[in-house]
A and B are shown apart, each in its own frame.
Chain A
Amino acid sequence: MSVTPTTPPKSWTVKVREKGVEALPPDKLLPDGQPTYVASWIYVFGVASIASLIVIIGSGCILALKGPAWWHETGVGHFFNSIHLWSVELFFFVMVVHLWGKYWMAAWRGGRGRVWVTGAITFLVAVPCALTGYVSQQNFDAQWISTQAKDAMNSVGVGAFFNLTNFGQMYSYHILLLPIAIVLLVSLHVLLVRRNGVVPPIELEEKLTAMRATSPDAQHPPAGAGEVQS
């Protein structure tokens, strides 16, 4: 009687690793080259959004380390609060330019819809993240903005569980819950970009699609394809 050798079932860890590497092999995750069409100032605004987020989180961590009252009492604290404020303003500015750029590039083409969706949701989550910062300032701005904006929250029932006049709750949202959501969304957004690659120019994509449809060697690259310029 022969015994058929059985392969042991794959562990969850192995499955996750294999799926991860299959979806994003290292050279796709961190490539050292980009298609030649990735040559425009508009691409700067995507990385500038991430850079602004890093500065926001860095300055926010310093403010969090010293506590919410520190920046009112010391010049150094006020300096870091100002860095935090201006990096937020820069974040929104570069993110809006990035979004407009991606819209005019129709960057959702070629199965990249989820890239757009994660980017758009990031923008929408960033808005309450900033608002909770404004109402956590413990100054007159916080008093006025919280007492005015509460009516909008209350009108749709959100005020029942998201109380803008509750400093403790807003501070928690501002320094923990919403930043975690933003970092997760941005991470997902970047991973999707790396997975799908940068969207090609519109007419080029149409040309390639037409070539694929008419030629049995549809996957063959056009002349000069595959060359890495040095």
Chain B
Amino acid sequence: MSFLRPKDNTQPWKGRYAPYDLVKELCIAVGVITLLAVLLTVLLSSPDDKPSTIAQWSHELPADFATTAAKELAGTSDTAEYGPPYNHESGSVQHFLFLHPQRWLGVSHPINTADDYVIKPLETIPNDPALTSALAEYKGATEKQKKEWSEAYAKPLEAYATAVEEKKAPPSTVSVNQSTGAVTVKASGAGPVPVMMTSLQSLAQSGGLEGGLVSSSQFFQTDYTKPLLFMADGGLLAERAEQQHLLGEQWGLMNETGSYPGQPWLWLYALWYQVEPMKSSPNADIQVLLIMGLLSLAFICIPFIPGVNILPRKIPVYKLIWKEHYRSEP
């Protein structure tokens, strides 16, 4: 407990004193900082790029939206395969040696991508007999059948996405009308899924999907986990982020949109993602956080770390800091 109640070996200063007005100093400092902040505000303002919406996504990148929605239904999207805290899968579960904190803390924000992103929103659409029938058929099917239908629908869309990414000719099984945002998929063996997905696309383009995904049974809602993860599974956010130098390989962790400084205090944290083995590790996040946790602990304990705590005596920067003192009292 000596750390909590250390021996107070400070001695009252018996040397000379000079008048020092602490309150005046603070008032002047507040004034100067306020002036600087106002000056920077007038000169540079602050960024405020409008958020992306699901309606915008489904209009601007209709094939990407359809592909993502198909993967959510098939259970093959990043969120569907993520693992805790969203589900019991293992796609994004990280560990370090015997440490499995992500698994230990369990599923705290459950997301069933097929239900939450596709089935439940579709159930809110009234007066559509074809959709009602398709939903009934889908829900009545076995899990194996559902998976076969979903994958049959998702397959041509994934081939389309790959062709677009590799700048090759897209397959004829998918046609996209960029002006209307309509996506037509020729998928044999997809059962009721094409009807469902066409309805979902229409619902998204009308703006009706946004509110349906906010996870709360109450009127007032503040948790955007579901719509954000749905959008992150698609390509719109990443496309915008790349244009704004926000991707991981662009040190995006510490950046923000535009030419603003962002969070430069995260530079050391961002640095570890750029070096091996973290750069290519599937467990990069936990590795970086453990490194930063250790470094943070060391930072707090600097006064007690041998070597580090005597460096200031060895490298006399203090002579520069107190040069007035040393000049007057050599």
Contacts and interface: CB of A to CB of B under 8 A. Distances in A.
Interface of A: 30-40, 42, 44, 47-48, 50-52, 54-55, 59, 71-72, 78-79, 81-83, 85-87, 89-90, 92, 96, 101, 103-106, 108, 110-114, 116-117, 120-121, 123-124, 126-127, 130-131, 134, 137-149, 151-152, 154-157, 159-161, 163, 165-169, 171, 196-197, 200-204, 208, 212, 219-222, 224-230
Contacts of A59: 37
B214 to A, nearest CB: 10
Nearest to B41: A82
B225 A221 contact: no
Contacts of A161: 105, 108
A113 B265 contact: no
Contacts of B25: 47
A30 B85 CA distance: 50
Contacts of B36: 86, 90
Contacts, number: 304
9 contacts: A38-B18, A50-B29, A78-B46, A82-B40, A140-B52, A159-B108, A165-B229, A200-B13, A204-B15
- Nearest 8 A/B pairs, CB to CB: A168-B222, A221-B14, A157-B101, A108-B303, A51-B29, A155-B285, A157-B105, A160-B105
A115 to B, nearest CB: 9
B300 interface: yes
B30 A34 contact: no
Interface of B: 3, 6-23, 25-26, 29-30, 32-34, 36-38, 40-41, 44-52, 84-85, 92, 94, 101-102, 104-106, 108-109, 222-225, 228-229, 231-232, 237, 240-241, 244, 246, 248, 252-253, 256-257, 260-261, 263-266, 283, 285-286, 288-290, 296, 299-304, 309-310, 312-313, 315, 317-318, 321-326, 328-329
Contact of A155 (B14, B30, B289, B326): B289
- Max count, chain B CB within 10 A of own CB: residue among A82, A208, A212: A82
A221 B256 CA distance: 55
Contact of B322 (A108, A167, A201, A212): A201
Contacts of B304: 113
